[in-house]
Structures are given as structure tokens and as C-alpha cells.
Structure 1
Amino acid sequence: MYPLKFEPIYKEKIWGGRALEEKFSRKLPAGSIGESWEIAAHENGTSVISNGNLAGKGLMEAIKEEREKILGVEAKEDYYEKFPLLIKILDANDKLSVQVHPDDEYAHQYENGELGKTEMWYVIDAQEDAKLVYGVKPEVDKDEFAASIKEGRLEENLIEINVEAGDVLYMPSGTVHAIEEGILIAEIQQNSDTTYRVYDWNRMGQDGKPRELHIESALDVIEFGAEPEDKVVGLEIKEDGYVRTILVACPYFTTETLDITEKYSADTNHERFYVLMGLEGKAKLSYEGGEMDLKAGETLLLPAALGEYELIGECKLIKSYIRDLAELKAELEELGYSQEEIKQIKGL
């Protein structure tokens, strides 16, 4: 097997822009492009492999042919029916709606078997004084939240924070959130496209009418009374030639950044697949049978059967995968990290 590249799936959005063109020299279709689905296997968009002998095949088609080689021996059976992750880049040229996503149980019951949506964001770029909505004030209950929507004063009940490039945020299902204008974000999430809009800043949609809201469903799934989440700090692990920072480790995905100054070596060990997204710089990815460049703005899937590989160069990237959390925690404890240090990893 070899590292898989995909054709991005571009989604025009009322809040989108052209930042992918400016930041990563992407050739975009016309319009306001709000989302690039980098790796996807969803009914609303399925990635097509663009390199090697699997070129032209959809991701799930390739998985059906090469299940264990792509997903790994540790992959759960349901991964064969629905790929577990959806990897995106979001360009918020304008504000996204204030929204929330359901958990697995609610989505399965009310959204035709869909998955819930827990996600994390890495801020790739942000204009000066960029902000986003990151939760509901803890003193606000369901009744007050509903009343504030009806009375047109919802914004006073939302938590708004400033963000800058390099910030990381973790969004468990049930968290009210909204990306505001001038932010480019890498999003790692469960494979779900279910969103409940709560508030859309009183704007009109492309048809000149207000966009649909989903207030009753949102009220069902919002986690009221939750303490505000902090930005993700992560656990930094310094190694020779690179720094690895584990950011999020939850049941749905583990994500870390790799700051490579010289070389990073690893092995997929036939256990699981990995997703690499370039953030800054460029590296040469070498593996048995070949090599390729990984540049900022590019995303690759490393199949479980890839084996040993090296990244050589100066770059920063996000590495995403799924693994047993108890094993990860035990591994970190064995390396000598304290419980307080491990708690810097969100979701663990």
C-alpha cells in the first residue's frame, strides 16, 4: 500500500470565501467556498482517490476491496460500513450560524441512523481580533436559552472568545458554537453532516429568505450548565528532530501536531490508518516503494499496511487516528507523565 491522496470536495456556502486559494494556491471553483472536504465518505460527499493504482475509486469502494490493508487490524466492524472520520478545512469569510450537533444516540434515533458529531478545530489563520462562539454561559438553563431566542437577545447568553493562528478547540457534541468571520480552520470530526442551527445573525439565505433553524432539536441536545471549555493546551513530547503535541484523545479520534525540524519516523504496524494534514512548510514522505511531498494545505491517508515511513524537512502537520484510550493513557504513564500533565489532553 501507499499514501492515498484525494480530490478535495468543495462546498459553496453563504459564509464562504476564497482563502484556500490565497493561503494554499488551490484552484477553486467559482463562488464563495466555505468547506473543503479533504477526506470524506458520506452520502453528502465521498472522496475519490487521485493517485496510484487506486486512482478513480471512491474511499469506501477502496475500503471494500482492501479493508484490512487500509483500515488496519484494530478497525471496528462498523468502520467497514461507514468510515469514522470526516476531515475538512473551513473558510469563514463571514459568520457561520450559531449551531450545535447531537451525540450518537440522538442522531441515530432522529437522523436516520446518522452518527453524532464531536469535533476539534485547529486555527490555521485568523484576522486580527478574530472571535468565535464557544459555549453557553453556565448559568443559562434551557428555558432562559429558549426565551432569549424568541426575544432576540440570544447573543448575551453565548460565550465569545478571541482566537489566533495555532489555537485549538475541542467541541464535544452538545456544545453550542459558531465560527465568526476571518478564520481558516482545520476540522477533525466524526463522519456526520448533521447540524442544528439555533441562530443565523438575522441574515437572509441565497434565496433571499431566512435559512432554516432547528431550535427544538437544538434544545434537546445542548449541554446546559456545562463549565466553559478552555482552549486546548495538549501534552508536549520533545523528541530528537521533532516535537509531538497530543491535543485531543476522545472515543472518536486522537489528534496531535508534529513540529518537525529534521526528521520524524514511524510505523503504521498494520494496526490502524492515520491522516496527515500539512499546516506549514513542506516535508518529503518516504516509505517502502516510493516517496512524495507533503505540503501545507495537503491531506493524506496513510493506510495501516503502509509500514515504516519517514517525514524529512521543516514542517508542521496534524496527525489524526483512532486508538484505545486506556492504552494511550497507560503508555503516557509509563513514559513518566503525571495525571496533571495527561489532563492537558482534551477528552482523555
Structure 2
Amino acid sequence: MERFPWLLKFLDCHEYVSVQVHPNDDLARRLCPTELGKSEAWVIVAADPGSRIYAGLLPGVGPADVEAHVRAGTLVECLHSFEPQIGDCVSLPAGTVHSLGGGILVAEVQQTSDATFRLFDWNRPGLDGKPRPLHLHEALEAIDWELGPVSPLTPAPLPQPATCVTQSELLIENEFFRWERYVARAGDWQISNDRLAVWTVIHGRATLTHGDSPSALRLGESLLIPPSTIPARWSFDGPTKLLKVTAPLAERPG
């Protein structure tokens, strides 16, 4: 059976997440035959002052540097990092070394895959009191050494779809997904639902009426809307922010 193309989740990080890297589709077929590769993206929903995102390697860092620092427990010295701001969107294509610091809540979209190689776990014990296993050799093979440091993306404005929508923008589009963000005030918005879409509320609340069936969504809730000729309408009773995931609009050249 064909798998659903995306996983959508919230990561509520009270502690540092292990430093990881995910393989691309080709490498996943060889190292994790039941999995796809894993490209993903984050939108920052909340972040404590001083929190950090680690995304990409510092310029000039190569395989020998990473291996030596992993073995020494000092991999953080190889990682690019920045303090996230609410609303930042971060693209993490397969092969990007990454981690989330504590005090961050992100919305995530990713390829449907569990292929993950752990590089570093901040020198802490697991639940059994022993260090969790690392996947150094697989990770070194999975890293895209051409990527370098990763910083937040600059969204691209989209046409205003309704008078109650005060901001609409394209966050990211790659070969796996397209992610859009909409900011709305009180009012109604008749939407086109000719393509499969997953909507997520990241601020406020909203009601989606599909035909005669209303569905109320609060912060953190998502709704899948299949392609349909039945009219659909968003209703907002106050300030609301929504994320929308679809397939990319056009096939990109290989």
C-alpha cells in the first residue's frame, strides 16, 4: 500500500534533541530498505529567549573533523547555530546535520520516514543510565558535505485570497512538499479544495465548513481536506495563523 506522503507533527522540546542526520532516498534504499529518505522543515511556534537551533556544519568542516569531535564528545564545535524567532521557517533537506535546543516548540513537516542516524547525544545517559547508541558510520555517509550552514528562509509573498486574510506567503517548496502560511482576522474565506491539503492552526482557532459539515480547530490541531468539488469555507472569530501543506505545484527539473 502506498504510504501517505508527509508526516506532520509538533516538537515541544524541553531538553536538547540529539544531533541527527537523515539520508536521502537513494541512501535510504540501501541502508534502510523499508524507509524513504527524510527531508523536513520547521516553523517556530514558540521559543524561549536564548534558545538555539543547530542546523548545518560550519564552513570547512569535513568528515575527519566530525568523526574526531564525535569521539571526543565535542561535536557542538562543528555546528552552525542561531537563536530562533517565532515565525522562522527552517529547511532541512536530507543530509543536513541538525538539532533543537530546549525551550522551543516547532511545527514540522517531513517525508514519511523514520530513517534517522544519531551523531551526538550531548554526552548524557539514556533512560537506562547508559549512553544511547550512535550511528557514526551511517551518519558520515548520509551527510551532504556541500550544504554548509543553514539559516531561516525568507518567505515569498502570495496573492491575498480574501479580505480577512492579512498575510499569505510561501514558506518553502521542494520536490516533496509545499508549505504556505496564512494570517487572518475575523471573517470568512472561501477556499479552493481541488488538491489534497493538510491545514494546521498554529495560533488562534478556526472553523472549516466543508459542505454542511463544520470542523472546529484549535491551536495544534490539523485537518486533512481531500480534493473535492464540494465548497469549503474557513471562518475566523479573531486573529488566527494557519499552515497549509500540499504537494509541490509543479515537477521540478531533475
Could you tell me the TM-score, scaled by structure 2's length?
Answer: 0.92
Q: Could you tell me which amino acid in structure 1 is paired with residue 151 of structure 2?
A: D
State whether residues 287 and 306 of structure 1, in contact with CA within 8 Å, keep that contact through their aligned partners in structure 2.
no
Q: Which residue of 2 aligns with 1:147?
A: 68
Secondary structure of residue in 2 paired with 1:146: helix
- 1:324 and 2:249 aligned: yes
Aligned-pair CA distance for 1:153: 2.5
Q: Does the 8 Å CA contact 1:127/1:164 hold for their aligned counterparts? A: no
Give the structure 1 partner of residue 235 of structure 2.
312
Secondary structure of 2:29 counterpart: helix
C-alpha distance in structure 1 between counterparts of 2:249 and 2:111, whole Å = 16
> What is aligned with 1:280?
203
Question: How far apart are 1:225 and its partner, in Å?
Answer: 3.6
Q: Aligned partners of 1:135 and 1:217: how far apart in 2?
A: 17
1:190-229 CA-to-partner distances (Å, cap 9, x unmatched) read 0011110000011011111111100000000101142322
Give the deviation of 1:238 after TM superposition.
4.7
Q: Is the 8 A contact 1:138 1:226 kept in 2?
A: no
Kindly indicate whether the alpha-carbon contact (under 8 Å) linking 2:200 and 2:220 is maintained by their aligned counterparts in 1. yes
Q: Distance in 2 between matches of 1:213 and 1:306?
A: 49
Cα deviation for residue 135 of structure 1 reads: 0.7
| Residues 1:235 and 2:156 are matched in the alignment | yes
Q: Secondary structure at the match of 2:217?
A: strand
Matches within 5 A, 1:23-42: none
Aligned alpha-carbon RMSD (Å) = 1.7
State the partner residue of 1:42.
Answer: none
Quick one: distance in 1 between partners of 2:153 and 2:83? 14
Query: Aligned equivalents of 1:131 and 1:241: distance in 2?
Result: 34
Superposed CA offset, 1:131-161 (max 9, x none): 0111101211111211222233321111111
Structure having the larger proportion of residues in helix? 1
Pick closer, same or farther for the CA change 1:88–1:306 going to 2, 3 Å: farther
1:185 CA displacement:
0.9
**Alignment partner of 2:218 out of 295, 304, 322:** 295
Cα distance in 2, alignment partners of residues 307 and 216 from structure 1: 51
Amino acid at match of 2:109: I
Q: Secondary structure at the match of 1:130?
A: coil
Aligned partners of 2:73 and 2:123 also within 8 Å: no
Q: Which residue of the partner structure matches residue 49 of structure 2?
A: 128
Secondary structure at the counterpart of residue 305 of structure 1: coil
Contact persistence 1:249–1:325 (CA under 8 A): no
Gap regions ≥5 residues in structure 2:
none
Distance 1:264 1:108 in 2: 43
- Is contact 2:55-2:151 (8 Å) kept? no
SS of 2:204's partner is strand
Tell me, yes or no, if the aligned pair for 2:117 and 2:135 is still in contact at 8 Å.
yes
User: Pairwise mapping of residues 75-114 of structure 1 onto structure 2 (< 5 A)?
Assistant: 81-114=2-35
Is 1:252 aligned with 2:252? no
> How far 1:258 moved relative to its partner?
0.9
Quick one: which of 172, 188, 203 aligns to 2:109?
Answer: 188
Counterpart among 215, 218, 222 of residue 139 in structure 2? 218
Distance (Å, rounded) in 2 between the aligned partners of 1:117 and 1:303: 24
1:307 deviation in Å? Answer: 3.3
Q: Is the 8 A contact 1:100 1:195 kept in 2?
A: yes
Q: Which of 286-295 and 194-203 deviates more?
A: 286-295
Give 3-state SS (helix, strand or coil) of 2:138's partner: helix
Q: By how many angstroms is 1:323 displaced? A: 2.9
CA distance in 1, matches of 2:63, 2:205: 48
Gapped runs of 5+ residues in structure 1? 1-79, 328-348
Between the aligned partners of 2:240 and 2:182, the Cα distance in structure 1 is 8
CA distance in 1, matches of 2:35, 2:146: 26
Among all aligned residue pairs of Structure 1 and Structure 2, give the percentage whose two residues are the same amino acid: 33
Counterpart code for 1:167: D
In 1: Cα distance, 2:84 partner to 2:24 partner: 26
2:82 equivalent to 1:161 = yes
1:166 shift after superposition: 1.3
Which amino acid in structure 2 is aligned with residue 207 of structure 1? D
Kept in 2: contact 1:137–1:225 (CA 8 A): no
Any runs of at least 4 consecutive aligned residues in structure 1 with deviations exceeding 6 A, and if so which?
none
CA distance in 2, matches of 1:326, 1:207: 47
